Amino acid sequence: METCVQNNKDPNTGTFTGSTITCVKSGACKPGIGYKQCAEAQGGAVIDSSAGCKDIYEAATPPPVDAGARRMATPAIDASTQQTAVIGWDITLTGTVDKVANVKAALDSLLQLRSTLKSSLGMAAGVTAGTQTLTYSVTNLGATVTTPVQVTAMLKGYLSSKSSSVVTALAPLGTIASCCNNPPPSTVKLVEDVVKATVAPTTAAPTAAPTAAPTAAPKVITGQMETTVTLPSTMTADQFVNDANVKLGYEKAIAKQLGFFNSNGVSVKLSIKARRLASPKQRRLVDATVLADYTINVPAKDFDAADAALKAAGTDANKAAWQTAIATSVNKQATTTVTVKVVTAGPTAAPTAPPVGPTEAPTEAPTEAPAEVPTVAPTVPGADGLVASFALSQTTGLFVVATVLAHMAC
């Protein structure tokens, strides 16, 4: 089995319409609508049907036999390892933000992405007045010949030289202002706990069956994460915290950040701490302070690492990664567009083993419901929401417009 990422576009307008991720038999991944599969001798990428296939990573070229011209091959990443590489640069905005998805699709084809690589493109207010910062991220979803680091290195070269191909791809949004911010990649080892049966050996002389070593009971981590969420005009704070898909988005994001294979051991309860309208000119967006109370069942062998990761989630060095992970996961699961800012995070109780027998349920203290703030309906339709999103991005972190990252390994 292998992971199959299918990008799709409207055959009539050429507009990027989204991505799907599935597990298929090896070699059975088919291109999405409006895309084509390149031959392995031409790089093996899945690109826009109007683009040309190129083996820009020399993935299909065997190393020379001549020892004097020996070239070291870049090792592939196997399915048990997930690597994420990111590159950022500034543009002078001349287009509109609704073109971000189309620009991402153009960059994917330019960079000859294989079907086992997933990308996202985010935009936030730049440091310099009049600029916006674009962030392009690549993650492998299973075994891959081309690594995420190779992709971002290739893009960095295009941006640094301002090649005509990347200038054309970025044109719907703007022009390159400066390049590049290219932090070290992150690599996560995906581990799946598998219970193996122990069979007693058969010998001529009767022997006692071996006794399996006792398995340490899983531990539980409970805690709370406070997040500031900017909601679209189509969603209220109450709808957000009561949406099962939003809850699943938080659970999957936490599981991914902890390096878990799936989110089955993570449970999250969402509630509203506070909510407020944006400024009068930005009434189409609402900020809500959302509390995520989590309970995580952690295998004993993974407890220390998970506990340390949760304690570090609220630090300045790690907030950005958690913000992006939560926003990406929620947007994917709930099919919406929100931005997330992690305010505080961390375990709030010492680890305990799950109860063996029945225990008396704790009595929950009554809490006062937060006061409802009336939402003012917009009076002028149009691009006000997009302008407001940019203004808010200066305080709420990365404004992810075309985020389609997901974690799946077959």
| 389 vs 393: CA distance, rounded Å | 6
- pLDDT score of 217 more than 60: yes
- Token digits of residue 128: 């310099």
For 18, other C-beta atoms within 10 Å of its C-beta total 15
3-class DSSP state of 111: coil
Residue 48, C-beta contacts closer than 8 angstroms, at least 6 positions apart: 9, 34, 35, 36, 105, 106, 109
Residue 270, C-beta contacts closer than 8 angstroms, at least 6 positions apart: 240, 241, 242, 246, 247, 250, 290, 291, 292, 293
pLDDT digits (tens, 9 = 90+) for 328-386: 888 888 877 778 877 777 675 444 444 444 444 444 444 444 444 333 333 333 333 32
pLDDT digits (tens, 9 = 90+) for 251-285: 998 888 887 756 778 899 999 987 665 454 444 55
| 404 vs 104: CA distance, rounded Å | 10
Q: Which of 160, 175, 12, 36 minimizes the C-alpha distance to 108?
A: 36
Q: pTM of the predicted model, to two decimals?
A: 0.48
Sequence letter at residue 397: G
